[in-house]
A and B are shown apart, each in its own frame.
Chain A
Amino acid sequence: MTNPEPHSVPNPLTKNITADNVATPIDRYRENDGYCGLLKALELSPQAVIDSVQAAGLRGRGGAGFNTGLKWSFVPDQDKVPGPRYLVCNADEMEPGTFKDRLLMERDPHLLLEGMAIAAYAIGAERAFIFIRGEYFLATERLQRAIDEARAAGLLGKNIGGNRFSLDIYLHRSSGNYICGEETALLNALEGKRAIPRAKPPFPQVSGLWGQPTVVNNVETLCNLPHLISHGEEWYRQLGRHKDTGTKLFGVSGRVKNPGVWELPMGTPVREIIEQYAGGMLDGFRLKGFLPGGGSTDFLTPDHLDLAMDYDVIGEAGSRMGTGTITILDDHSCPLGLTLNLQQFFARESCGWCTPCRDGLPWVVEILTRLESGNGRAQDLDLLEELATGMGPGNTFCALAPGAAEPLLSALKYFREDFERHLQYGGCPFADDRRALLLPA
Chain B
Amino acid sequence: MKIANTSEFLSAEEIAEIEREFEIYPTRRAAGLEALRIVQKHRGWVSDEALQALAAFLQVDTAELESLATYYQLIFRRPVGKAVVYCCNSASCWLMGSRDLQRQLQTRLQVRPGQTTDDGKITLLETPCLGDCDQAPVIMVGTAGGTYEMHRRLTTEKLEELVNDLQKVYGGSSDEP
List, sorted by A's number, 13 A–B pairs whose CB atoms are closer than 8 Å. A96-B129, A98-B133, A133-B131, A134-B72, A137-B147, A172-B34, A176-B74, A177-B71, A192-B25, A192-B68, A327-B92, A345-B91, A438-B100
A residues less than 8 Å from B36 (CB atoms): 175
Annotate B124-160 by CB proximity to A: 1 below 8 A, 0 otherwise: 0001111111111100100000011100000111100
Residues of chain B at the chain A interface (Cβ within 8 Å):
24-27, 29-34, 36-37, 60, 64, 67-68, 71-75, 86, 89-92, 94-97, 99-101, 127-137, 140, 147-149, 155-158
Contacts A97-B92, A333-B95 supplied; 11 other A-B pairs, CB < 8 Å: A173-B34, A175-B74, A191-B29, A254-B96, A259-B133, A259-B135, A327-B92, A329-B95, A338-B91, A436-B97, A438-B155
B residues less than 8 Å from A40 (CB atoms): none
Number of A-B residue pairs with CB-CB distance less than 8 Å in the complex they form: 156
User: How far apart sit A178 and B129, CA to CA, in the bound complex (Å)?
Assistant: 9
A residues less than 8 Å from B149 (CB atoms): 137
Query: Are B27 and A191 in contact, with the CB atoms below 8 A?
Result: yes
User: How far apart sit A93 and B129, CA to CA, in the bound complex (Å)?
Assistant: 9
Set B64, B86, B97, B131: member contacting A136, Cβ < 8 A: B131
Closest chain A CB from B50 CB (angstroms): 16
Please name the 10 residue pairs, one residue from A and one from B, whose CB atoms are nearest each other, closest first.
Answer: A175-B72, A438-B97, A253-B133, A259-B134, A175-B74, A176-B73, A192-B29, A253-B92, A192-B30, A192-B32
Closest chain B CB from A23 CB (angstroms): 16
Query: Are B130 and A135 in contact, with the CB atoms below 8 A?
Result: yes
Q: Which of A335-374 contact B (CB under 8 A)?
A: 337-338, 341-342, 345, 348-349
Query: Are A174 and B30 in contact, with the CB atoms below 8 A?
Result: no
The verdict on A36 contacting chain B, using a C-beta distance below 8 Å, is no
User: How far apart sit A272 and B99, CA to CA, in the bound complex (Å)?
Assistant: 31
A residues less than 8 Å from B140 (CB atoms): 135
Residue on A nearest B90 in the bound complex, by CB: A96
User: How far apart sit A345 and B90, CA to CA, in the bound complex (Å)?
Assistant: 7
